[in-house]
Structures are given as structure tokens and as C-alpha cells.
Amino acid sequence: MILGTIGTSAVEPFTVTDEANNLISGISPSAFSIDLFDPKGINVNTQIDINIDEYINGHYKISFVPNKTGMWFLVVYHPLYFPWGKSDDIQVYKSGIDKISDNLLEVLGLVHSNIFIDNPIYDGDGNLTSARVRIYSVPESVSTNNDVIGTYEITSPGSGPGKFTTWKQIKV
């Protein structure tokens, strides 16, 4: 199974060999036929641009840009070498694994892991009314300008000594 992201080229590699397991290179892309099914099971091979290119020496790749999240199904056929088809699933997500990883680091920071608060402003009653909050990917960088994964501004208007009316934290 391959992982993909909406709007980013999904690439499925495959190899062509003969009965003696010799790699077959130089096959024209037009010699292959393709079925590409979207997550609803609809064959979209005529609605989406699909490319076949040879890497080198009988190793090829199919690429297309998915436009929906979910499980796609791809089958490539060659009338001589694999008329039964070679197939694979492509799981397509809204965003990539790197983005998920970044989001998890940010959540860790928001639950007070590797956090630093500075630039405080207080009102006449001594209440903190605003400050900057930064979260870091590694503890060694806390309070520096290195490895910052998120910067936030907090505001909390005071309503008397030791009281605030609201607390707002926004990413800047």
C-alpha cells in the first residue's frame, strides 16, 4: 500500500519481467492499460491524468494526482507480461505524515512540554493581560530562538485584582 496526499503526485512503482525473470525495458507507456478506482469505487482512469514512466532497466512508475481522501485502487495491465494485472492500494490523506508529526509536536507544547512565556504585560491590579508563549521541539532550546515550533499570543483582560474576564490564546 502506498500513502498519498490530496493535490500531490502519488507514485506506484512496478517492475516488468519475462518468464525467465529478465527485466524488460523500453516498453511504451501506451502498451499498458490502467484501471484507477477512486474511494467510491468509480473507475476514473479517463478523468484523471495518469502517467507511466520508466525509471531504468524494466522498473517503471505510474503517477497521478488524487483529488479525494480515502482508499484508491490501481491496476496496471500489459497484454504479454501480466494480462491479469498488477494492483495496489493507495491511501490518500488530506495532509502528509510530516504535517501530522508537526501537529503532534505542537499539541505537546500546548500541554506545557518545552514551553516558554515572555513579554508579559500587567494591568494596574497586577493581572497578566498579555504575553508571548513559545513551544519548542527540544528542551535544550527553550528560551532561545532555535527549534521554535509554535508562537502564541495570550490576552486576558483584568476585572479586578487576581481576576480576568476572558483568556484568549492565538497562534501568531
CA distance 31 to 38: 23
CA distance 50 to 113: 45
User: Which amino acid does the sequence have at 110?
Assistant: L
For 32-54, letters b (16+ CB in 10 Å) and e give: bebebbbeeeeebeeeeebebeb
Residues 15 and 86 in one domain: yes
- Could you say which of 76, 93, 110 is where a domain stops? 93
Residue 86 pLDDT: 96
Residues 56 and 106 in one domain: no
Residues 76 and 46 in one domain: yes
- With bands split at pLDDT 50, 70 and 90, how would you rate the model's confidence at 96? low
Give the CA distances from residue 172 to residues 144, 153, 168, in Å, rounded to whole numbers and listed in that order: 17, 7, 12
Could you give the number of structural domains in the chain?
Answer: 2
70 CB-near residues (< 8 Å, 6+ apart)? 38, 39, 40, 91, 92
Residues 89 and 36 in one domain: yes
- Least confidently predicted of 11-15, 100-104, 126-130, 167-171: 100-104
Whether residue 65 contacts residue 10, with contact meaning beta carbons closer than 8 Å, is answered with: yes
- pLDDT, average across residues 125-153: 92
How deeply is 7 buried, as exposed, middle or buried, from its count of CB atoms within 10 A (0-12, 13-18, 19+)? exposed
Residues 70 and 128 in one domain: no
Residue 153 pLDDT: 95
Whether residue 161 contacts residue 150, with contact meaning beta carbons closer than 8 Å, is answered with: no
- pLDDT, average across residues 38-56: 96
- Could you say which of 48, 78, 93 is where a domain stops? 93
- pLDDT, average across residues 55-62: 96
CA distance 90 to 21: 27
User: By residue range, what is the domain housing residue 150?
Assistant: 97-171
Residues 102 and 125 in one domain: yes
* Global pTM value: 0.60
Beta strands (DSSP E) in the chain are: 2-5, 10-15, 33-37, 50-56, 59-64, 70-78, 82-93, 115-122, 128-136, 148-155, 168-171
Q: What are the tens digits of pLDDT across the range 16-28? A: 999 999 999 999 9
- Could you say which of 75, 93, 111 is where a domain stops? 93
- With bands split at pLDDT 50, 70 and 90, how would you rate the model's confidence at 108? low
Residues 6 and 88 in one domain: yes
- With bands split at pLDDT 50, 70 and 90, how would you rate the model's confidence at 113? confident
Residue 137 pLDDT: 85
Give the chain's radius of gyration (CA, Å). 27
User: Which amino acid does the sequence have at 131?
Assistant: A
Residue 3 pLDDT: 87
- pLDDT, average across residues 89-104: 78
What is the share, in percent, of the chain residues with pLDDT greater than 70?
Answer: 91
* Residue that wins the pLDDT comparison between 111 and 9: 9
Residues 158 and 80 in one domain: no
Residues 11 and 24 in one domain: yes
